[in-house]
A and B are shown apart, each in its own frame.
Chain A
Amino acid sequence: MRRLQADGFSMAKGTRVLPDSPHPATDIVDAPPSRPADSAGYRRLELGVQAFFFIVAIVTALNSLDLGLMVAFGPGPGFFPFYLSIAMGLLVLAWIVQSRRAIRSGAAGDTAIDEAIDYPHVVTVIVSLIVLAALMGVLGYQIAMFLFLYFHLAIRAKRTWYTSLIIALAGSVGVFHVFTDLLSVTLPLSMFGFLNTIGL
């Protein structure tokens, strides 16, 4: 049990065990080789998030005061969020103190996840999803999702054009008809009349 606690319990989805280890219980490692924690990047992110949450706490507290803490028959709409904002502010301060201590003791960044983040992948996925969401209301689900899937399959995953085409059609037109015709769950149609009339 102690062996597992020492290194095995951080296992989660996607974790692999060294296949040919004579002591599998002790040789559990993460699947992707972890990059060393980027301490400076970690600290910048941590500081940014702490500042953001502290500002949110102040804005929420002020907003709650405007809403009113008490009304004639008891607590008002601002009562609960006001005290939560105070708690949030105090917790952010406690976190800042903990981080400062960690920096002084040289342990800063040690708590960051080991998962190496591929930033180009993150940006591409997020931007493509934003474009998809923006286009869904204009072009409708089928065209927007088709473009999204074709981009991810043909360009990012480098699948052949016909594989990408088939999967993109299935994920856009196919899913649309399964949801609308079989499950009675409507997905958006294009706002352009000429596309709308042909069912897109």
Chain B
Amino acid sequence: MDVLNDLLGGFASALTLQNLLFALIGCIIGTLVGVLPGVGPVAGTAILIPLTLGMDPTSAIIMLGAIFYGSQYGGTITSVLLNTPGEAASAVTVIDGYQMTKKGRAGVALGIAAIGSFVGGTVATAGLVVAAKPLGSLGLKVGPPEFFGLMILGISLLVALAGKSMVKALLSGVIGLLIALVGIDPTIGAPRFTFGSPNLLDGVSFVAVIVGIFGLSEILVSATAQGSTKSLTGGLRGMLPNRQDLRRAAPAIGRGTVIGFSTGLVPGLTGTVTSLLSYGAESKFSRFRKQLGTGAIEGVAGPETANNAHANSALIPLFTLGIPASPTIAVLMGAFLQQGLTPGPSLFTQHSEVAWAIIASLFIGNLICLILNVPLIGVWTSILKIPHGILLAIIMIFLVVGSYTINYNVFDVFVMILFGIVGLVFRRLDIPLAPLVLTLVLGPLMERSLRESLEISQGDFSIFTRPFALTFIVIGAFVLLTPLLKIRKPAALNVDPEA
């Protein structure tokens, strides 16, 4: 009953005109981010953080959250109409989505994707409502050693699942941690790794790093990827799926919801992996599995439901334990921290009204995306007709403005450029980017919990043998050591999440 009251309170706050407007703006920008090539959800969310700094924390997070799940909807549009995924999680939708477009059923494909996404997103948000309080109270019982163990586990899972080489993934994570430690030491106030530069005293701006590493590096490699975009908008007739479509899609939507919700809880299993697992489930369990690849509605409904369920359920570890499950969630966590909110169990005790307003806004945002996307499909696809050179120039404006406005310092633009080059080199050498982003955000929290633990124990490392802390660390170590134990990682996981 308490939960219901809290949720109703959250709806009261989320349904104010101001918050509704920000949710709407977020959905529109998110869809645009999903549609545009060159701006993924990670960079897209990071670029817009500076704009939200002057806003009320609830509105700011509502807008950034809407950008996050709006991008899931947007990615589908280009997959279905243009045979080109707007973002990685929609890559598998291309297979049947584009085939449906060729058969004149683009509207049905987009309609069922929107419905599936809405169902998956809403069910996962309901899961967040149910899990928030119990997991949050459990989280309140964990001390610094357990929190440190939990972060080791979260990072291990992401590192283990990112890219082909564990060594490179770990290296990427360590680099992120080291970058996060630049600046004034929080305990005794000594400057660390600032090399005498006053610009580094406040640390390296994570927004500039993320915008560079994901946004600019994408532009640097995209020069050759400027194929012409041929839209088959003629297939938009008959926008809504008929009864038979719905009957066929329902089991796929159900399976997609379960898969997306479950995988969203596991750090490292990102939307890309989830949608592929869902497609795999359809090819195994669907009654119409033989039609997959030829424009079967299940091939669109399953993965699209799964990736949206995943996007929403990935917020559960963030809200309850303060652990980001993916790079985009890590960026969202950074936005929370910028607003003075610490995601995790204390969120529900110290900023309960904000937490519940954000959760309520997830329901509203999913509905807005559903209503918004179907009628505006023509508008989104027309954006892709803008010549590549103009699009790149426009995106670069946002990269520069986004990195400058975080601290109103041109130095951050140079940081963004530097990390654009780093991102390019990482891509070239197949070093996954996701661990760097995750540890960049988690670094200060991880160090704080480590140092607090050792201050409590007066330097005695046996404090990490407390049952929960030890369990988390052992599982984390096991995950990292799996290559040595000759436990093979499925080939499907050999991809840098959200890169």
How would you classify the secondary structure of chain A's contact residues: helix, strand, loop or mixed?
helix
A190→B256 CA distance, assembly (Å): 54
A:4-63 near B, CB below 8 Å? 4-6, 8-17, 19, 23-26, 28, 31-32, 42, 45-46, 49, 53, 56, 60, 63
Closest to B273 in A: A9
Given contacts A81-B193, A88-B178, A117-B424, contact A13 B392 (CB under 8 A): no
A179→B53 CA distance, assembly (Å): 13
A11→B192 CA distance, assembly (Å): 40
- Does B219 sit within 8 A of A, measured CB to CB? yes
- Pick the contact of A130: B227, B279, B414 (CB < 8 A): B414
- Contact between chains at B420 and A126 (CB < 8 Å): yes
- Contact between chains at B37 and A179 (CB < 8 Å): no
A:131-173 near B, CB below 8 Å? 132-133, 136-137, 145, 148-149, 152-153, 156-159, 163, 167, 171
- Does A65 sit within 8 A of B, measured CB to CB? no
A174→B157 CA distance, assembly (Å): 45
Interface membership of chain B positions 480-495, coded 1 if the CB is closer than 8 angstroms to chain A and 0 otherwise: 0000000000111011
- Contact between chains at B224 and A116 (CB < 8 Å): yes
- Contact between chains at A5 and B490 (CB < 8 Å): yes
Residue contacts A-B, CB under 8 angstroms, 24 given:
A8-B276, A16-B83, A17-B95, A23-B293, A24-B294, A46-B429, A67-B185, A70-B459, A71-B188, A88-B171, A91-B167, A91-B170, A95-B171, A112-B430, A113-B221, A129-B400, A130-B417, A132-B400, A132-B413, A153-B390, A157-B392, A183-B54, A185-B54, A187-B401
- Does B404 sit within 8 A of A, measured CB to CB? yes
Contacts A11-B85, A84-B177, A136-B404 aside, 7 further interface pairs with beta carbons under 8 A come to A14-B37, A32-B227, A63-B192, A73-B455, A88-B174, A158-B389, A185-B405
Spell out B's residues near A (CB within 8 Å): 37-38, 40, 50-51, 54, 83-88, 91-92, 94-95, 98-99, 102, 164-165, 167-168, 170-171, 174-175, 177-178, 181, 185, 187-188, 190, 192-193, 216, 218-225, 227, 272, 276, 279-280, 283-284, 292-294, 387-390, 392-394, 396-397, 400-401, 404-405, 408, 410, 413-414, 417, 420-421, 424-425, 427-430, 447, 450-451, 454-455, 458-459, 490-492, 494-495, 499
- Contact between chains at B174 and A84 (CB < 8 Å): yes
- Contact between chains at A24 and B95 (CB < 8 Å): yes
A113→B367 CA distance, assembly (Å): 38
- Pick the contact of A5: B220, B292, B388, B491 (CB < 8 A): B491
- Contact between chains at A125 and B220 (CB < 8 Å): yes
Interface size of A in residues (CB-CB distance below 8 Å): 88
- Pick the contact of B425: A12, A45, A126 (CB < 8 A): A45
- Contact between chains at A74 and B451 (CB < 8 Å): yes
Given contacts A74-B458, A115-B225, A118-B224, contact A9 B492 (CB under 8 A): yes
Kindly list chain A residues whose C-beta atoms are within 8 Å of the C-beta of B219.
Answer: 125
